Amino acid sequence: MIDFKRVVGRTKYHDPTKNFELVEVNSEKRYDPLTGKMVRVFPFRKITFSRHDWTPFVEESRQRFCPFCPGVIEKAAPRFPEDFIPGGRLRVGEAVLIPNLHPYENHSAVVVMAPDHYLSMQDIRPDVIRDSIEVGLEYLRVVAEKDPANSRYSSINWNYMPYAGGSLIHPHLQVISGSDPCNLDGDVVASAARYFERHGRQYWEDLIGAEKGGERDLGSTGRIHWLVTFAPLALGDVTAVIRGCSTIRDVTHEHVEELAGGLKKIIGYYDSANIPAFNMAMYFTGGEDRGFCCTVRVVGRFTLFPLVGSDVSNIQILHHDPWTLCLPEDMAGDLRKHFA
């Protein structure tokens, strides 16, 4: 049922590192088993990154204005209208949810995850992740109640540090909700509905069955199943399947607690592999889309020399081909140690 399609290409050249011996080098294209979308895997196999030191960037950012720091957020951050969210902001633990000053959806919020201006990967605690996702879900529940037309497609997102597109060092999430899905989300939703129609089963249940015990399987933490993604969108791509959930109403405190624990393990792996940044997205539908299941996707982000170098190139921007440097199966071996 699940087609793990990969096409290996071979290129010949005279290799200067091997005395110009004629060598054959592999490249690989993989096709997402759900959407059919192609991604590229470069033939680096194992790659090692040097340790990235965020200290100078963090110190510089402390000298600049940070709207999320204690003492400033009260005065500098926007508030929701009283009839939408009484008091203007939502709080769970130390996490505070405020409107996004620069909205890019009908409903667009930011979660300031903690009072700390900087949290290193080691310092990101599971309870910080848990409370931040909880307050994001609380906001999405308000949106669903007060503006159902704009609550069908929503997501909770994280750009950790500037290499991942984070515009501020201060840890924060972005929560969006609208009437239409994002591009990738729309493909996933439509493909999952087609799969359900054709097979009478949810794609992700079949995926977990096909991956179980295999080289990309990280196992289950209870209600959530963790897989290294076969057709990765970027480096170190992990998919968490929140089984039995498709809407925000299905996601319980227990799910969020478990999710936060698993994300901490992935962040621990990135840290150990010197991957200095990451993106996360947690996807929801309104429940009308048959065959959909909530998933969370996390990818590592990095820079190569020079330090300002981007890991996004013409291939993603102008050709829409995601690529990664490493074979997912190679990374899975190291990731599994963190899930053991």
**Short-list 120, 119, 176, CA closest to 153:** 176
Interface with Zn ion (CB under 5 A), residue total: 5
Contact call for residues 206 and 244 (beta carbons, < 8 A) = no
274 to 44, 278, 298: CA distances (angstroms): 16, 11, 16
CA 112/CA 134 separation, integer angstroms = 12
Nearest approach, Cβ of residue 209 and Zn ion (Å) = 45
The piece of 45-53, 63-71, 219-227, 234-242 that touches Zn ion (CB under 5 A) is 63-71
Among 29, 117, 223, 338, binds Zn ion (CB under 5 A): 117
Among 89, 130, 170, 297, binds Zn ion (CB under 5 A): 170
HSE, CB side, 13 Å, CA atoms: give it for residue 72. 12
Q: Does 98 bind Zn ion (CB under 5 A)?
A: no
Nearest approach, Cβ of residue 128 and Zn ion (Å) = 14
CA 264/CA 121 separation, integer angstroms = 9
Please identify the residue of the shown chain whose CB is closest to the bound Zn ion: 66
The piece of 59-67, 175-183, 188-196, 252-260 that touches Zn ion (CB under 5 A) is 59-67
Q: Which residues pair with 8 in a beta bridge?
A: 28
Q: Does 69 bind Zn ion (CB under 5 A)?
A: yes
Among 34, 39, 66, 280, binds Zn ion (CB under 5 A): 66
Q: Does 290 bind Zn ion (CB under 5 A)?
A: no
Burial of 5 (0-12, 13-18, 19+ CB in 10 A): middle
Contact call for residues 190 and 184 (beta carbons, < 8 A) = no
Contact call for residues 279 and 312 (beta carbons, < 8 A) = no
Give the distance from CA 281 to its chain's centroid: 4
Nearest approach, Cβ of residue 299 and Zn ion (Å) = 25
Nearer to Zn ion, 95 or 218 (CB): 95
The piece of 105-113, 115-123, 139-147, 193-201 that touches Zn ion (CB under 5 A) is 115-123
Q: Does 68 bind Zn ion (CB under 5 A)?
A: yes
In the block, residue with structure tokens 């669903």: 144
Contact call for residues 280 and 260 (beta carbons, < 8 A) = no
Q: Does 118 bind Zn ion (CB under 5 A)?
A: no
The piece of 12-20, 30-38, 110-118, 239-247 that touches Zn ion (CB under 5 A) is 110-118
Nearer to Zn ion, 117 or 290 (CB): 117
Q: Cα angle vertex 33, ends 31, 38, to 5°?
A: 20
Nearest approach, Cβ of residue 112 and Zn ion (Å) = 8
Interface residues toward Zn ion, by CB under 5 A: 66, 68-69, 117, 170
